[in-house]
Structure 1
Amino acid sequence: MTLLLMAAGSGTRYGKLKQFDDLGPKGEFLMEFGIYDALKNGFDHVVVITKKDQVEFVEEHLRERLPANIKLDVLAQEITDIPDGATFDIDRQKPWGTAHAVWTARKVIDGPFAVINADDFYGQSAYKNAADFIRAHRDDNTYALVGYTLRDTLSEHGSVSRGVCQVEGDNLLSVDERLKLEPDGDKVKDLDSGNTYSGEEHVSMNFWICKPSIFSKIESEFRTFLADKELGMKSELYIPKTIQEMLQAGEIKVKVVPSEGDWFGVTYSSDREKAVADLQEKTDAGKYDSPLWK
């Protein structure tokens, strides 16, 4: 089983590359705890998507730590990586988005895989539940979202972006990407639209379980995206949107798998103190070795 980590963000609100901040008790990166939890549950292939100038650093860092039997691929998400025959003539510096990050791995993944953000902590049970789902659905075209509760994924220090889900039973019906969610009393408000949420809604934290069929879908969407100069100037390709289009076209089914664990992230620099304390507490409780890698 493959774990794909998206680690190409710029950390604009955090102030530096948060995916490589030493948050663990022995200086570990937050993503190392996700890799550790995944390996404990049978994942044996790690793919990291990062910036071109970080590839060598990340590969050396992880190869020194991961068990020898774990396959590792570290790939650069590059703005010049576009579908064959496609072109773009715009001045764009920012990456194409999370769906493009996933598409970057198209040549190294040929089976079911889980996708996570490198700067989020998802909880140990989330990886167990993801692994169990992959084993149960290895040969069909059922995708999954490892879901969290909106209220539990907010920051005390500013607005956050979340995919708010509509769910029926354990079936995902849709994902509505909201970019500026903040606590509002006992509710949650989206500052862009003015929509108010109870806080109990399922949300996507970009922990997806996908099949290789997503690569061709992303490529098709990417071609359409590049053909629209206005989109190409400022917009991005998002994983939830791609999966939702596949779902609505009847190409896949998408289940919601409860994480049954705690999530935290480091959107803002002021989130760092709590993340460090949480990782120390979990290590002190014996949930993680210290140092993490023996």
Structure 2
Amino acid sequence: MEPTLLILAAGMASRYGSMKQIQSFGPGGETIMDYSIYDAIRAGFKKVVFIIRKEFADDFKAIVEPPLKGKIAIDYVYQDLKSFTDGYQVPADRTKPWGTAHAVLCAKDAINEPFAVINADDFYGRDAFEKAYTFLTKNVNGNTYSIIGYELLKTLSDNGTVNRGVCRANASGDLVAIAERINIAKKDGKILVDDNQEPKELPMDSQVSMNFWCFDQSIFPYSEKLFNEFLSDNGNLTNPKSEFFIPIVADKFINANKGSIKVIPTSAQWFGVTYKEDAPEVKANLEQLVAAGEYPAKLWK
């Protein structure tokens, strides 16, 4: 059974200030998503499912579908505030999506095979997709998931601080914990963190999550159970900023001894558009990769 690629594209892009999921960055007008899909196809993925919001569905489909026709199967899932909230009253002033784990849960009826999860606005690199495909076709099961681990130094921005989930693994390479660290930046040859946790300096080779996960479809019923628990906490239900994130599910999974999550390191260079000022650098990076022969000048000839 060939794995599916699930792309999270329902975010509001609050820091970036526009719908960056469908913005052109490549020399042929490609979006960052195009490169992820291209890498996924050549790794062996046969289907892509987009999680989007209904209000920009038409614009999204008009841009995404034409170049992919005949190259990979496509499906769409809408992340809606009322999805999987049966029995709970969603506050009228709640506008923010419930978070990445809820987004994944919304794809429950569209995915019946092992799958990878990525963000729409991150460039992950070919190596990451090849390793994800290998894991999803050979090693994934109901007790074994994985996360692609990136070198922290390769995920920083020159235009401001970033937030990263710093992974801690045991000697067997199993994820032990993810610590969400905020306000990370490189300064004077060091990687420093300005938050209320310790340590304040992180090793250059720290492995971090860029939200590239590999799951068996058994994650859906487990996530649904945890989402019900999340909503049963009235503080989460009424707080307009509370979110149900994938690391919450991952943390519960490993700490409840449901199974293990392997940390699969990649040497790939990550880049993305956290800030508008990152856009020129993203374009330059893609042009360099094209010039080096990693990608054709026009992905979808």
Which residue in the other structure is 1:201 paired with? 206
In structure 1, what is the Cα distance between the partners aligned to 2:153 and 2:288?
A: 22
In structure 2, what is the Cα distance between the partners aligned to 1:143 and 1:32?
A: 25
In structure 2, what is the Cα distance between the partners aligned to 1:121 and 1:69?
A: 20
CA contact (8 A) 1:98 1:239 kept: yes
Alignment of 1:262-277 (within 5 A): 262-277=269-284
2:27 partner amino acid: P
In structure 1, what is the Cα distance between the partners aligned to 2:180 and 2:140?
A: 28
Which residue in the other structure is 2:5 paired with? 3
2:251 partner amino acid: Q
Quick check: 31-40 or 143-152, which moved more?
143-152
Q: CA RMSD in A?
A: 1.6
Gaps of 5+ in 1: none
1:52 aligns with 2:59: no
Which residue in the other structure is 1:252 paired with? 259
Which residue in the other structure is 2:185 paired with? 182
Quick check: 239-248 or 218-227, which moved more?
218-227
Quick check: 219-228 or 203-212, which moved more?
219-228
Identical columns (%): 40
TM score, norm. by length of structure 2: 0.92
In structure 1, what is the Cα distance between the partners aligned to 2:272 and 2:147?
A: 18
Gaps of 5+ in 2: none
TM score, norm. by length of structure 1: 0.94
1:213 is displaced (CA, Å) by 1.6
Quick check: 193-202 or 265-274, which moved more?
193-202
| 1:241 counterpart (239, 248, 256) | 248
Quick check: 30-39 or 207-216, which moved more?
207-216
| 1:34 counterpart (17, 31, 36) | 36
Which residue in the other structure is 1:122 paired with? 124
Which residue in the other structure is 2:165 paired with? 163
Shift of the 261–228 alpha-carbon distance from structure 1 to 2, 3 Å rule, reads same
In structure 1, what is the Cα distance between the partners aligned to 2:188 and 2:235?
A: 37
1:12 is displaced (CA, Å) by 1.8
CA contact (8 A) 1:6 1:115 kept: yes
2:235 partner amino acid: E
CA contact (8 A) 2:155 2:271 kept: yes
Shift of the 73–291 alpha-carbon distance from structure 1 to 2, 3 Å rule, reads same
1:217 is displaced (CA, Å) by 2.1
1:221 aligns with 2:234: no
Query: How many residues are aligned here?
Result: 294
CA contact (8 A) 2:50 2:75 kept: yes
Q: Deviations over 1:155-197 (max 9, x none)?
A: 1111212111111232111111123222243332332215322
1:265 partner amino acid: G
